[in-house]
């Protein structure tokens, strides 16, 4: 499980606003397909509640909008719970990265290990309980994760929590250490969301996932809260 170190803010407010706060919404975004995918896999953002209708000034319209918003929020919560409790899903137990903010290591804030375990960042924005690279907008960075048991994989879910939309490739590794790209393309993720990459069941077992980002495509800090590997034993 990831730790919850007390966050000591050392980033400029302007960086936070540009890098993470893409819009006023903090809920997960609607399903979208990547603009370009170069593998058999497909990527979507996690489902999200629809926005309530604008107020019309009448009591009935206001009550209807409130009901719609409550139902959407409940659906959103149920979907997140479903992902966390997926019997075929597992969370990383070890992680390494191309770099870490402030050269963090071990269980320090923003270290690679902050991307292990189940999601624990509940609001979109800069948070030491997620991993981020040493510098912002520097280009190619990666996060390499190890899981408890090898499985025939069918999906990878990347929980992005700040500067979302910078993932460009996801690979899984066979038991001999060979890398296999299961998705490469344009990340549709915005705000606090899962990038969900589905692909045909692998012909080999894997317990390792590598997520590659191009941090220069989304301004500011790009942070990953957790990565779930989905698969079966047979």
Q: Is the pLDDT of residue 35 over 70?
A: no
Q: Is the pLDDT of residue 28 over 70?
A: no
Q: Is the pLDDT of residue 67 over 80?
A: yes
Q: Which two tokens stand for residue 160?
A: 């992005």
Please give the residue range of the domain that contains residue 36: 28-49+89-232
Q: Which of 45-59, 70-84, 187-201 has the lowest mean pLDDT?
A: 45-59
Domain annotation covers residue 23: no
Residue 128: what pLDDT?
Answer: 98
Per residue in 5-21, pLDDT tens?
Answer: 433 333 333 343 445 64
Domain annotation covers residue 56: no
Domain annotation covers residue 19: no
22 falls in which pLDDT band (50, 70, 90)?
Answer: very low
Output the domain CATH number for residue 148: 2.60.120.260
Q: Is the pLDDT of residue 96 over 70?
A: yes
Residue 160: what pLDDT?
Answer: 98
**Once rounded to an integer, what is the mean pLDDT over residues 99-119?**
97
Question: Quick one: what percent of the chain has pLDDT higher than 70?
Answer: 77
Residue 33: what pLDDT?
Answer: 35
Count: domains in the chain: 1
Domain annotation covers residue 125: yes
Domain annotation covers residue 36: yes
Per residue in 184-234, pLDDT tens?
Answer: 999 999 999 999 999 999 999 999 999 999 999 999 999 999 999 999 999
Domain annotation covers residue 168: yes
Domain annotation covers residue 142: yes
91 or 73, which is more confident: 91
Residue 58: what pLDDT?
Answer: 63
Residue 50: what pLDDT?
Answer: 53
Domain annotation covers residue 214: yes
Q: Which of 23-27, 54-58, 187-191, 215-219 has the lowest mean pLDDT?
A: 23-27
Residue 42: what pLDDT?
Answer: 86
190 or 31, which is more confident: 190
């Amino acid at each position: 499980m990831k730790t919850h170190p007390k966050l000591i803010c050392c980033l400029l407010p302007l960086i936070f606003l540009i890098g993470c706060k893409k819009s006023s919404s903090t809920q997960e975004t609607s399903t979208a397909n990547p603009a370009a995918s170069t593998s058999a896999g497909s990527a979507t953002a996690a489902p999200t509640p629809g926005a309530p209708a604008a107020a019309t000034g009448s009591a009935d319209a206001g009550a209807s909008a409130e009901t719609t918003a409550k139902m959407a929020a409940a659906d959103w919560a149920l979907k997140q719970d479903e992902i966390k409790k997926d019997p075929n899903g597992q969370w990383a137990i070890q992680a390494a990265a191309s770099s870490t903010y402030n050269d963090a290591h071990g269980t320090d804030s923003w270290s690679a290990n902050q991307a292990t375990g189940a999601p624990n960042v509940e609001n979109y924005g800069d948070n030491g309980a997620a991993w981020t690279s040493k510098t912002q907008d520097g280009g190619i960075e990666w996060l390499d994760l190890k899981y408890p048991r090898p499985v025939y994989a069918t999906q990878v879910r990347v929980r992005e929590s700040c500067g979302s939309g910078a993932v460009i490739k996801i690979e899984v590794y066979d038991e001999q250490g060979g890398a296999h790209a299961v998705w490469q393309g344009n990340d549709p993720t915005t705000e606090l969301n899962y990038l969900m990459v589905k692909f045909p069941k692998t012909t080999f077992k894997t317990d390792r996932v590598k997520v590659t980002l191009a941090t220069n495509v989304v301004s500011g800090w790009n942070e990953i809260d957790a990565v779930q590997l989905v698969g079966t034993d047979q």
